[in-house]
Structure 1
Amino acid sequence: MRLLHCSDLHIGKRVNGFSMLEDQRHILAQILAVAVREAADAILIAGDIYDKTIPSAEAVELFDWFLTRLTEQGKPVFFLSGNHDSPERLDYASRILQNQQVYIAGSYHGTALTHTLSDEYGPVHVHLVPFLKPGIVNGALQTHCESYQEAMEEVLRELPVRPDERNILVAHQFITAGGVSPEQSDSELISLGGVDQIDVSVFDGFDYVALGHIHGPQRIGRDTVRYSGSPLKYSFSECRHQKSVCLVELREKGIVSVRLIPMHPLRDMRKIRGRLEELLSEEVAALADRNDYLHVTLTDEDTILDAIGKLRRVYPNVMQLEFENKRSQDSEEYGFFTQEAVEERSMDSLFSEFYQNQNNRPMDEAQKQFLEQCIRQIGEVER
C-alpha cells in the first residue's frame, strides 16, 4: 500500500503582504499529479490546512478544488486540524464526506477517528489525532493531564491499536527525540519553555507516524516518524529547504519504506546581496528566475532614493529590503544613546555624530559653523 503524506498547506497565507494563493494552487496541482503518477492508495494531510481559523472564501474554494480532484481519482483522503485551523469548521459535513472517502478529524471529543484500509498483506488502520492541548484531553476524557506528553499518552491509550497488524498515526504536534528538538523556521509558532514537547517514544507501537506542525522535512528518532514539512517556503529562514512530500510504502508488517518526492514551486524564495547597480545588471538578473520572492541586502554606502522601486522594476516580487553598509554597522555597534548619555553630551557633538552616521563623512568647516550658529540661536530663544 502506498500513502502520500503531506502537511502544513496553510492555504490563504500571506507572506510579507504577498498572497500565496497562486503559488498554493500550483503546488497542490503538483501534489495531485504525484498522487496519480505514483499510484498512491490514500492521501494523508497532517494538519494546518488553512493559515487562519477563519479562512478566506478564496482559500476554502482552493481546498475544495483540491479535495474534489483527489476524490475524482477515487483516492481516500485523511486530514485533521492543526493549530492554525478551526476544528469545528473542518468538521462541517464530515460525516457526509465519509461517503466520498474523505475522513476528517477536526474536534476531539474523546474518541479519535480510525478507518481501516486493506491490501494483499491485510488491514491497515489509519488513526487521526488532531492538534490537542492538555485542557482539551482533560475535558474529553475526564483526566488531569498537566503536560502535552501526558495528554498524548492518554489519547493513544484509547486507540484500537492492534499490535499484530499495521497501524498508521496522523498527528499535528511538537515531537522531540530524547530531548532533541526538530529543526524549526521563522514561519512556525516557536515552542515556549518546552511545555508542548512530546517524546517520539510514545509512538513505538505505530508502523508509520505522519506528522505536521514543523515546516522542514525531517525524521524524528526513526525513519518512520516524519514531518513531511510544508510544500512551500513560507519564510526566508526556509531558503535552503528542499520541499517535498513523503511517499510511504507498506508491505507486510514491519516492512516500511519512505521516499521523498521534491516539490517545485511556481516562484522560489531566496536571498540576494550586493550593490544596487550590480543586482540590476542583466548579467546578475539572468542567473535565476527574476520573478522569485526575494530578500535583498544592498551594500551601497551612498543613500539610494526609492531603492525598492528600482529593484521591483527588475525583480517584481521583492519582499524584504535591508541595507548593510558602514552606517548600518555603526548603528548596530553603538545603538541608541540612553537618556543619561544624551544629557552628558553637547548638542553639537550629538548632531555631528548623527550627521556622520547618516552620510558616512564628517561635516566640513562651513557646516560646523552653521550648526554652531543654529545652536546659539536656539539657546537665545529658550532664554
Structure 2
Amino acid sequence: MKFIHISDLHLGKRVNEFSMLEDQRDILKKILTVVDEEKPEAVFIAGDVYDKSIPPIEAIQLLDDFLCQLSRKKVQTFIISGNHDSAERIAFGGRLMRESGVYVAPAYSGNTDSIVLTDEWGPVNIYLLPFVKPVNVKHFFEEEQVENYTDALRVAVEQMKVNPDERNVIVTHQFVTGAKRSESEEISVGGTDNVDVNVFENFDYVALGHIHGPQKISRETVRYCGTPLKYSFSEIHHKKSVTIVEMKQKGNVVIRTKELNPLHDWYEIKGSYMEVAEKSYYDSLDRNCYMHITLTDEEDIPDAVRKLQVIYPNLMKLDYDNQRTRGRKSFADVQEVEEKTPFDIFEDLYEKQNNQEMNEEQKQLIHSLIEKIWEDKN
C-alpha cells in the first residue's frame, strides 16, 4: 500500500504582506502531478491546512478544488486539523465527504476510531488525531493524570486500543521532542508542547505535521514531511518535497521523497546599494525570487525599497549591516531572545529586577500561569 504524506499547507498565508495563494495554487497542482505519477492509495494531510482558524474565501476555494481533484482520481484522502486550524470548521461536512473518499478528523471527543484499508497483506488501520492540548484530553479523561502534552498523547493513544500485531498508521500534528524548528513555526510557551516519541511505539508509520523542515524523529517511520513551500528565510536551504510511504507486510516500510519546485524560490543577497543595483551583479540571478537584501552602506539609502523593487519585484525584506547596526544589539543576541520561551524571558526579567533567581515555588506558579494563558489563548 502506498501513501503520500503532506502537511502544513497554510492556505491563505501572507508573508511580509505577500500573499502566498498563487504559489500555493501552483504547488498543489504539482502535488497532483506526483499523485498521477505515483498512484497512491491514500494522501495524508497532517494539519495546518489553513493559516488561520477563519481562512479567507480564496483559501477555502483552493482546498475545495484540491480535494475534488483527489476524489476524482479515486485517491482516499485523510485530513486532520493543526494548531492553526479550527477543528470544528475543518470537520464541517466530514460525514458527507466520506462518501467521496475524504476522511476528515472531527474535533477531539475522546474517541479516535480507525479507518481500515486493505491490501494483499491484510488491514492497515489509520488513526486520525488532530492537534490536541492537555486540557482537551483531560476534559474526557478526568480520572487520568494529564499534566503535559506527553501525558495527553499517551492517554489519547491508549484509548485507541491499537493492535500491535497489525499494521497501524497515525496522522497527527504535534511537536515531538528532538524536532528542528524554523522561524515560521509557532513556538509554544515554556516549551510545554513537547511530546515523547515513545507514545507512538505501536505505529508502523507516524505521519506528523507542525514542523516545517522535513525530518525523521528517532526512527525512519516517525516523520515530518515539512511544508510544500518555504514560508521564511530560515527555510532557504530546505529541500521541499512530498513524502512517499510504501508499506508492505508488517515491519516492511520504505520511505522516499519527491522534490517540489516552487513558483518562486527564496534568496538572500548582501552588498552595497551600488553593487546590488549593478546590472552585471543581478543578471545571473533569478530576480523573481522572494528576496532578502542586506545593504552594507554606512548611510541609509533614501527610498531604497521602492528603488530596489524595480530590479527585484519580490523584495520581501531589506535591512542594513554596517557600523551603526552592529553597534546595536547583535543579530545573534536578538535571535537568541526570539528563540527563548516566555518562561525564560520572565525568569531573566525577574533576576534583573530582583537580583536573585526565582525559587521553585515561584517557578511552578509562573509555569502554571503561562500554561493557563496559553490554553485560554488557543
Instruction: Provide TM-score, normalisation by structure 2.
Output: 0.85
Following the alignment from structure 1 to structure 2, what is the Cα–Cα distance between the partners of residues 251 and 282?
A: 55
Deviation at 1:288?
2.8
Following the alignment from structure 1 to structure 2, what is the Cα–Cα distance between the partners of residues 255 and 289?
A: 43
1:193-342 alignment, distance < 5 Å: 193-332=190-329
Q: Structure 2: 5+ residue runs without aligned partners?
A: 331-378
* Contact 1:44/1:170 (8 A) holds in 2: yes
* Contact 1:236/1:269 (8 A) holds in 2: yes
The alignment status of 1:158 with 2:159, answered yes or no, reads yes
Deviation at 1:320?
0.6
Following the alignment from structure 2 to structure 1, what is the Cα–Cα distance between the partners of residues 88 and 300?
A: 52
Following the alignment from structure 2 to structure 1, what is the Cα–Cα distance between the partners of residues 300 and 141?
A: 63
Which SS does the other structure have where 1:296 is aligned? Answer: strand
Of residues 62-71 and 273-282 in structure 1, the stretch that sits farther from structure 2 once superposed is 273-282
* Contact 1:7/1:230 (8 A) holds in 2: yes
Residues 73-96 of structure 1 deviation map (CA, whole Å, 9 limit, x = unaligned): 000000101000001101111000
Deviation at 1:311?
0.8
1:11-22 alignment, distance < 5 Å: 11-22=11-22
Equivalent position amino acid for 1:282 in 2: K
Deviation at 1:300?
1.6
Q: Which residue pairs with 1:26 in the alignment?
A: 26
Following the alignment from structure 2 to structure 1, what is the Cα–Cα distance between the partners of residues 176 and 326?
A: 39
Q: Which residue pairs with 1:149 in the alignment?
A: 150
Following the alignment from structure 1 to structure 2, what is the Cα–Cα distance between the partners of residues 113 and 73?
A: 25
Q: Structure 1: 5+ residue runs without aligned partners?
A: 334-383
Q: Which residue pairs with 1:352 in the alignment?
A: none
Following the alignment from structure 2 to structure 1, what is the Cα–Cα distance between the partners of residues 61 and 113?
A: 25
Q: Which residue pairs with 1:101 in the alignment?
A: 101
Q: Which residue pairs with 1:172 in the alignment?
A: 173
Following the alignment from structure 1 to structure 2, what is the Cα–Cα distance between the partners of residues 318 and 239?
A: 15
Which SS does the other structure have where 2:171 is aligned? Answer: strand
Following the alignment from structure 2 to structure 1, what is the Cα–Cα distance between the partners of residues 317 and 140?
A: 45
Q: Which residue pairs with 1:369 in the alignment?
A: none
Which SS does the other structure have where 1:313 is aligned? Answer: helix
1:53-202 alignment, distance < 5 Å: 53-142=53-142, 143-176=144-177, 181-202=178-199
Equivalent position amino acid for 1:23 in 2: D
Ranges of 4+ aligned residues in structure 1 off by more than 4 Å: none
Following the alignment from structure 1 to structure 2, what is the Cα–Cα distance between the partners of residues 165 and 112?
A: 17
Deviation at 1:138?
1.3
Deviation at 1:332?
4.3
Which SS does the other structure have where 1:107 is aligned? Answer: coil
Deviation at 1:226?
0.3
Following the alignment from structure 1 to structure 2, what is the Cα–Cα distance between the partners of residues 217 and 192?
A: 23
Following the alignment from structure 1 to structure 2, what is the Cα–Cα distance between the partners of residues 107 and 113?
A: 13
Equivalent position amino acid for 2:12 in 1: G
Equivalent position amino acid for 2:200 in 1: F
Which SS does the other structure have where 2:311 is aligned? Answer: coil
Q: Which residue pairs with 1:377 in the alignment?
A: none
The alignment status of 1:38 with 2:38, answered yes or no, reads yes
Following the alignment from structure 1 to structure 2, what is the Cα–Cα distance between the partners of residues 301 and 50?
A: 42
* Contact 1:300/1:325 (8 A) holds in 2: yes
Following the alignment from structure 1 to structure 2, what is the Cα–Cα distance between the partners of residues 123 and 288?
A: 51
Following the alignment from structure 1 to structure 2, what is the Cα–Cα distance between the partners of residues 284 and 266?
A: 23
Q: Which residue pairs with 1:336 in the alignment?
A: none
Following the alignment from structure 2 to structure 1, what is the Cα–Cα distance between the partners of residues 276 and 118?
A: 56
Following the alignment from structure 1 to structure 2, what is the Cα–Cα distance between the partners of residues 44 and 291?
A: 31
Q: Which residue pairs with 1:47 in the alignment?
A: 47
Give the greater-gyration-radius structure (CA): 1
Following the alignment from structure 2 to structure 1, what is the Cα–Cα distance between the partners of residues 290 and 323?
A: 27
* Contact 1:4/1:43 (8 A) holds in 2: yes
Residues 245-303 of structure 1 deviation map (CA, whole Å, 9 limit, x = unaligned): 10000011100010011111100112111112221222322323101111110112244
Following the alignment from structure 2 to structure 1, what is the Cα–Cα distance between the partners of residues 300 and 138?
A: 59
Deviation at 1:144?
4.1
Which SS does the other structure have where 2:43 is aligned? Answer: strand
Equivalent position amino acid for 2:228 in 1: P
Residues 101-133 of structure 1 deviation map (CA, whole Å, 9 limit, x = unaligned): 100013011111410111111111111100001
* Contact 1:249/1:258 (8 A) holds in 2: yes
Instruction: Provide TM-score, normalisation by structure 1.
Output: 0.84
CA RMSD of aligned residues (A): 1.2
Which SS does the other structure have where 1:137 is aligned? Answer: helix
Identity of aligned residues (%): 49
Following the alignment from structure 1 to structure 2, what is the Cα–Cα distance between the partners of residues 85 and 174?
A: 16
Cα 1:303–1:91, aligned 2, differ >3 Å: closer, same or farther? Answer: closer
Following the alignment from structure 2 to structure 1, what is the Cα–Cα distance between the partners of residues 131 and 310?
A: 43
Following the alignment from structure 2 to structure 1, what is the Cα–Cα distance between the partners of residues 81 and 4?
A: 18
